[in-house]
Amino acid sequence: MVLNLIRSLAAFALIAVATPSSADDGSGFPQIVGTWHGTYLVAFAKSNPNHDKGLLKTEMELEITKLDGNLITATNRWRRIGDKDWIVEEAMGTFSLDDPTRFVLAEAGISGDDVSSGIFNGVYLDDVIMVTYAGPGTGVAFAAQLVKKDTSK
């Protein structure tokens, strides 16, 4: 009985000094800062000038540059396979508060001819980021699986 009392007091003391976790301190969210890479097929609506080109194989680098609690700052670079120049688009987003593996990024184009604004819905699972993208203004959509680039090479 005394042992149970000591255990209860120790547990209470631990809880009393433990820092609460919340979106403000970033705990509970995956630490996904880094550059993520993958290839995908992109489709275009009929109104998009690229529609007649059919499905285009594309590569992207999603660089997560900063996490502030649940908030995500990112840069998306993408190009069609064979192109040399990257299209660069900036994004801000947030992890879901009810499922810390899920996030959304709102993107705005800043360079190149094919820039668009759109939404990434993503999930981080087993060291992979999976995203679906919809650009309603330009009628573009795709899904991609991204793996973290090895920066030691």
Tokens of 18: 């433990």
Quickly tell me which residue has 């970033």 as its tokens: 26
Residue 25 has what pLDDT? 47
The more confidently predicted of residues 76 and 135 is 76
Predicted confidence (pLDDT) per residue in 50-70, tens digit = 777 778 899 999 999 999 999
Predicted confidence (pLDDT) per residue in 126-150, tens digit = 999 999 999 887 788 899 999 999 8
CATH superfamily of 22-148: Calycin beta-barrel core domain (2.40.128.20)
pTM for this one?
Answer: 0.76
Burial of 8 (0-12, 13-18, 19+ CB in 10 A): exposed
Alpha helices in the chain (DSSP H): 2-17
Structural domain spans, the chain: 22-148
Q: What is the DSSP string of 29-71?
A: S----EEEEEEEEEEE-TTSTTGGG-SEEEEEEEEEEEEETTE
Contacts of 47 (CB under 8 A, 6+ apart): 139
The more confidently predicted of residues 150 and 123 is 123
Q: Which of these, 133, 22, 18, 119, lies nearest to 70 by C-alpha position? A: 22
d(C-alpha 135, C-alpha 112), whole Å: 16
Residue 27 has what pLDDT? 60
